[in-house]
Amino acid sequence: SSVVNLGLIKLNQVGFLPAASKLAVVPEVAATAFQLLDSDTHRVVYSGELTSAANWVPAQERVKLADFSGITEPGIYQLRVEGVEDSHSFPIGTEVYRDLAAASIKAFYYNRAGTALLSQHAGIYARQAGHPDTQVYVHGSAASQARPEGTVISSPKGWYDAGDYNKYIVNSGISTYTLLAAYEHFPLLFNEQNLNIPESNDDMPDLLDEILWNLEWMLTMQDPHDGGVYHKLTNKNFDGTVMPHQATSQRYVVQKTTAAALDFAAVMATASRVFAAYEAQRPGLAAQMREAAESAWAWAQTNPAVFYVQPADIRTGEYGDRSLADEFAWAAAELYITTGDDSYYTAMNAAGTENTVSSWGDVRGLAWISLAHHRDNLTDLADQDLIASRVTGLANSLHNTWQASAYRVSMQTNHFVWGSNSVALNQGIVLVQAYRLSGERRYLDAAQSMLDYVLGRNATNIAQVTGFGTRSTLHPHHRPSEADGIEAPIPGFVAGGPNPGQQDRSDCPVSYPSAVTARSYLDHYCSYASNEIAINWNAPLVYLVAAVQALTPV
């Protein structure tokens, strides 16, 4: 008899809000129907038709879909299809994302540099302080007359970038912006949230306190003598697998680059308008940020093409990028929104700026997100039709892919790069913008699918956020999670995700379970190319979870 690979039912293991779209992927079986069971009593509460089988190209897998969106009654359920194992149990309820929403932000706290994590905040993940970064050398490549090579500067705080312990301005840019955007778009959610961080009892939302931890570091990365911004603060080599306090190599600020100046300018302009509401708590901060943004922008005008070139003695992450039209457009857009100065709108070159799904190296989409959000408060110069068409144009193309996809996701084969889960999440963010503009439900449903994807409706059948779901990422490439001697990884971190590039192959003692694009994921500490964590991957998780909570009708 022929062998049939029955596979497994895949769905968002964390669950669904009552009024959300609810889909599961079912392997190709003969059955044409599915049942929804109450997971305690195993009573059938709903039966529905499966779609006919179709192939999802990135997974080379033929699947059917079960749509049980009609079930809105809170409870714990399982999906049953004849010929396959019953699905994971999953909840439907109004609070299903409450813990995830908090943990995805708390992850940034766990990645704080320069401070001890106390057990009252960090529980079993308490640890000593590492990387004070109060005695950082100016690397030769960053030297200037005012700060010659070897000058010592202080550049404390900030978040570690990822599973490594270095701090990079370019990647901090999109990460910090995405968190600020979550706050700008959905403030009510965050005003109520208690993350149990050291600042929880002050009179600012915890999310903003957490963001400030990184903004304060970013401000120190600007050279006050000229407005230029160092590209990164780093060791010469990646640290071993040790806790932060055991990683004591000398730290350096390396190069000033145009990309760093522009990403810095964009974030400081954004932060300046958010923190303007907190003048009483932090007098002068908003003005300081705005001036920092403007001087970084001015530096970039006189230094428009200074690209990062990794010095021979530095071997850590590069975040190198040689096409900066998108960084110019993003910084100009944020400065325009914050200052109301038309010359920034002109500098943005809106008509020549497309919309794309954002990543650390392509930030033009962030400009469109901000312009769309602030559309009612822009000067007359802004082209309102263009803003709307840029947002819906990109969202429509993602929606079309989603609609035609056997998994009902907008991920295509070429999206599976290093950090592919962040591609999925950033696609979700684009779809959310179209929903916010149009109110058309199809965009929200597609955005929900991108969250579902990361939380289990993917070809690995692994919920890719540590600590969430019945079968989730266990061994992220995250030095503290590996070196702390605690079995469970620090919760709330999204893994990079499937990446057929497998650039870590020679550093891994085991091979990936599959070379197939959407299954090229290895849940092992060695796998920095598919299983690292990073601030620019967690930030869109924070955003999308918040968006789904704030926007799904009750």
Min. distance of Cβ 486 from ligand G3I in angstroms? 22
385 annotated active-site: no
Min. distance of Cβ 542 from ligand 9MR in angstroms? 21
Query: Distance between CA atoms of 549 and 545, rounded to whole angstroms?
Result: 6
- Rounded to 5°, the CA angle 250-494-374 comes to 95
User: Which residues, other chains included, contact 72 with Cβ-Cβ below 8 Å and sequence gap of 6+?
Assistant: 18, 19, 92
Min. distance of Cβ 534 from ligand G3I in angstroms? 4
Indicate which residue of 88, 399, 477, 524 is catalytic. 477
Residue 72 touches which of ligand G3I, ligand 9MR, none (CB < 5 to 8 A by kind)?
none
CB-nearer residue toward ligand G3I: 164 or 210: 164
Give the burial class of 15: count Cβ atoms within 10 A of its Cβ; 0-12 exposed, 13-18 middle, 19 or more buried.
buried
162 binding ligand 9MR? (CB under 6 A): yes
Contact 209, 202 (CB under 8 A): yes
Stretch in the footprint of ligand 9MR (CB under 6 A) among 99-107, 159-167, 265-273, 359-367: 159-167
Out of 28, 133, 164, 206, name the contact with ligand 9MR by CB under 6 A: 164
Min. distance of Cβ 158 from ligand 9MR in angstroms? 16
Report the phi/psi class of residue 277: left, alpha or beta, with left for phi > 0 and alpha for psi in -120 to 50: alpha
Residue 501 touches which of ligand G3I, ligand 9MR, none (CB < 5 to 8 A by kind)?
ligand G3I
523 annotated active-site: yes
Under DSSP, the state recorded for 77 is E
Residue 158 touches which of ligand G3I, ligand 9MR, none (CB < 5 to 8 A by kind)?
none
482 binding ligand 9MR? (CB under 6 A): no
**What part of residues 525-544 is at the interface with ligand 9MR (CB under 6 A)?**
528, 532
Query: Distance between CA atoms of 201 and 195, rounded to whole angstroms?
Result: 10
Min. distance of Cβ 238 from ligand G3I in angstroms? 8
Query: Distance between CA atoms of 440 and 63, rounded to whole angstroms?
Result: 27
3-state secondary structure of 366: helix
Min. distance of Cβ 528 from ligand 9MR in angstroms? 4
38 annotated active-site: no
Indicate which residue of 164, 206, 210, 226 is catalytic. 164
Cα 314 vs. chain centroid, distance in angstroms?
Answer: 26
Residue 389 touches which of ligand G3I, ligand 9MR, none (CB < 5 to 8 A by kind)?
none
CB-nearer residue toward ligand G3I: 467 or 497: 497
Query: Distance between CA atoms of 473 and 484, rounded to whole angstroms?
Result: 17
Alpha helices for 186-257 (secondary structure H): 187-191, 206-220
Out of 507, 511, 513, 515, name the contact with ligand 9MR by CB under 6 A: 507
Under DSSP, the state recorded for 41 is T
Contact 17, 549 (CB under 8 A): yes
The string over 114-129, giving b where at least 16 C-beta atoms fall within 10 Å of a residue's C-beta and e elsewhere, is bbbbeeebbeebebee
State the residue number with the nearest CB to ligand 9MR: 164
Residue 169 touches which of ligand G3I, ligand 9MR, none (CB < 5 to 8 A by kind)?
none
Residue 29 touches which of ligand 9MR, ligand G3I, none (CB < 5 to 8 A by kind)?
none
Min. distance of Cβ 412 from ligand 9MR in angstroms? 24
Residue 507 touches which of ligand 9MR, ligand G3I, none (CB < 5 to 8 A by kind)?
ligand 9MR
3-state secondary structure of 375: helix
Min. distance of Cβ 428 from ligand G3I in angstroms? 18
* Two structure tokens written together for 396: 């429509």
Residue 238 touches which of ligand G3I, ligand 9MR, none (CB < 5 to 8 A by kind)?
ligand 9MR
Residue 419 touches which of ligand 9MR, ligand G3I, none (CB < 5 to 8 A by kind)?
ligand G3I
Under DSSP, the state recorded for 489 is P
3-state secondary structure of 231: strand
Min. distance of Cβ 494 from ligand 9MR in angstroms? 15
CB-nearer residue toward ligand 9MR: 183 or 319: 319
The 3 state secondary structure assigned to 396-445 is HHHHHHHHHCCCCCCCCHHHCCCCHHHHHHHHHHHHHHHHHHHCCHHHHH
CB-nearer residue toward ligand G3I: 299 or 525: 525
Min. distance of Cβ 240 from ligand 9MR in angstroms? 8
> Which residue has 């749509």 as its token pair?
67
The string over 530-546, giving b where at least 16 C-beta atoms fall within 10 Å of a residue's C-beta and e elsewhere, is bbbbbbbbbbbbbbbbb
CB-nearer residue toward ligand 9MR: 395 or 483: 483
CB-nearer residue toward ligand 9MR: 314 or 391: 314
Residue 105 touches which of ligand G3I, ligand 9MR, none (CB < 5 to 8 A by kind)?
none
Sign of dihedral through CA atoms 102, 107, 108, 112? positive
Stretch in the footprint of ligand 9MR (CB under 6 A) among 42-50, 64-72, 157-165, 508-516: 157-165
317 binding ligand 9MR? (CB under 6 A): yes
Query: Distance between CA atoms of 435 and 433, rounded to whole angstroms?
Result: 5
Alpha helices for 51-127 (secondary structure H): 98-110, 119-122
149 annotated active-site: no
Query: Distance between CA atoms of 326 and 346, rounded to whole angstroms?
Result: 14
Residues that bind ligand G3I (CB under 6 A): 161-162, 164, 317-318, 361, 417-419, 501, 503, 528, 532, 534
Question: Residue numbers of the site for ligand 9MR (CB under 6 A)?
Answer: 162-164, 238, 317, 507, 528, 532
Q: Which residues are catalytic?
A: 164, 477, 523, 532
